[in-house]
Amino acid sequence: MTRREARELALSTLYQLELRQNLKGNDLNVYDRDIKEVDFTEESYCHFLVNGILDNMASFDLLINRVATRWPIDQIPYIEKNIIRIALFEIQYTDIPNKIAINEAIELSKIFGGENASKFVHGVLGEILKKSDQLKV
């Protein structure tokens, strides 16, 4: 399993948690095991992403709301919202370069998002990074 597949697994898990309205992460399991055999390293990275996002969701959603003024957070599709959250977490809490985190988010949105998802994700992340001196990223 690659790092991208770990992100896909995290995206699937976050999506399912949000659908089930279980964003506290109690008894968090990786729900989607159909991607491939999950090795320990990438499953650990997936859990790191999911738990970190759940712990920081309020601050990430505040950042998203500040730049996506036409789209209140509850109107952004779950997939796009969680892709942005994954990128924000990787930017803030890992040593992954910002450009790579954003590129991975764009690629995920092309695969899993709606027709204009990649443009939306790119625009939101770009605006957050432009304003990062004002916003805590």
Q: Which residue has the tokens 């959250």?
A: 85
Q: Where are the beta strands (DSSP E) in 26-97?
A: none
**Domain presence at residue 137:** no
CATH code where residue 56 lies? 1.10.940.10
Q: What is the pLDDT of residue 135?
A: 56
**Domain presence at residue 135:** no
Q: Where are the beta strands (DSSP E) in 63-115?
A: none
**Centroid of chain to Cα 134:** 21
**Domain presence at residue 36:** yes
Q: Identity (one letter) of the amino acid at 117? A: A
Cα 112–Cα 125–Cα 20 angle in degrees, nearest 5: 45
Asked if 6 and 43 count as a contact pair (C-beta separation under 8 A), the reply is yes
Residues of the domain holding 86: 3-130
The string of pLDDT tens digits covering residues 82-106 is: 999 999 999 999 999 999 999 999 9
- 39-61 b/e with 16+ CB inside 10 Å = b? eeebeebbbebbebbbebbeebb
**Domain presence at residue 20:** yes
In this prediction the pTM is: 0.86
Q: What is the pLDDT of residue 55?
A: 94
Asked if 23 and 17 count as a contact pair (C-beta separation under 8 A), the reply is yes
Q: Which of 110, 122, 108 is nearest to 2 (CA)?
A: 108
* Spans of the chain below 70 pLDDT: 1, 22-41, 133-137
Q: Based on the structure, what is the number of domains in the chain?
A: 1
